[in-house]
Amino acid sequence: MNLSQRGAALSMFRKGEKIVDIARQLEIHRTTVQSFVSLHKHDPITDAALVDRHRSGRPRVTSARQNRLLVRTIRKDPTLQTDDVARSISGGEDELVSERTVRRRAAEAGMFHRVMRKSPCLTERQKHQRLEFVEAHLDWTDVEWGKVRFSDESSVQCGCNHGQKWVWRQEKEEWDEPNIQRTFKFPTTIKFWCCMSAQGPGTFNISDDSMTGDYYLSILQQYLVQNGTELVGVATKLTRLLAYREHVCNTKTTRCPIEYLKSVTREEWMGMDADYTKALVASMPARMQAGKRTHGGATRF
């Protein structure tokens, strides 16, 4: 009940109207009106008198000192599991704080248990080079970034599932065929090099050899330099190089043939929409700002 409904119900009750009639007129359940009137029937009809009264609630398991200790413990080692934090702030086995309480107290302090982000291991020299690149291109416009062709090398595997997959099953069905995520000890792997610009995806080259420094330079000379394309920031990593078909790993029960893997990888790259690559290039100013904030360190891009 809001304040106006509370005032109206109390006023109508003091005029002699029945609880049932009051509930019908205000469109509120009868027991709600009955409970409110019983509690406030002698109070004046003012906002201060009709607001909810303070409720003490259930006493907290943790003290203010334990709450501060919890935050310090998490700050000191963010990788601690919830049960370890609970033991560190508890007075003993008889006063063990539950893991759910630990999560609630941490949430009150603005801290949440999340999966760690992955980032390349950058040396101080690499961070310095990244920062120099950021500072040199911080003021570039979309038109200038639109003249750049970005390139990178990567690899794709079939049968190597690094991520988690969830499935609905009963207690004893964990090893049933529909509930198993298949992997291969030696998955089929291909290495490739590709480039893109704001106009769309560019050359896609699959390598059967190791991607050595000399081989990589020969690729750049063949597909970029000889074509007269201005190469700026070859080492710039893209958010996503390939939208690989998920059904390749999900539907095939035998090892994926290398030629099939090559064909679908090339097809996915060349079929990438130009609007997607344009949006990636348009994000470069934001990437430069993020690199400046982290002084060449890891960013969300």
**Structural domain includes residue 178:** no
Range of the domain at 236: 124-161+184-293
**CATH at 147:** 3.30.420.10
Tell me which residue of 194, 192, 196 sits closest to 148, measured CA to CA: 196
Residue 102 is predicted with a pLDDT of 92
Residue 158 is predicted with a pLDDT of 67
Residues of the chain with pLDDT under 50: 226-253
Q: Do 134 and 19 belong to one domain?
A: no
The torsion of the CA quartet 214, 232, 191, 277, rounded to 10 degrees, works out to -170
Q: Do 146 and 235 belong to one domain?
A: yes
**Structural domain includes residue 174:** no
Residue 129 is predicted with a pLDDT of 92
Q: Do 235 and 141 belong to one domain?
A: yes
Q: Do 102 and 152 belong to one domain?
A: no
Q: Do 135 and 276 belong to one domain?
A: yes
Tokens representing residue 110 in the block: 């603005």
- Tell me if 65 sits within 8 A of 105, measured CB to CB: no
Does residue 296 come out as left (phi exceeding 0), alpha (psi in the -120 to 50 range) or beta? left
pLDDT tens-place string over residues 39-88:
777 777 666 667 777 777 788 888 899 999 999 999 999 888 888 899 88
Q: Do 89 and 193 belong to one domain?
A: no
CA distance 298 to 121: 9
Residue 128 is predicted with a pLDDT of 93
As for how many domains the chain has, the answer is: 3
Q: Do 195 and 239 belong to one domain?
A: yes
- Tell me if 265 sits within 8 A of 190, measured CB to CB: yes
Residue 179 is predicted with a pLDDT of 81
pLDDT tens-place string over residues 13-26:
888 889 899 899 98
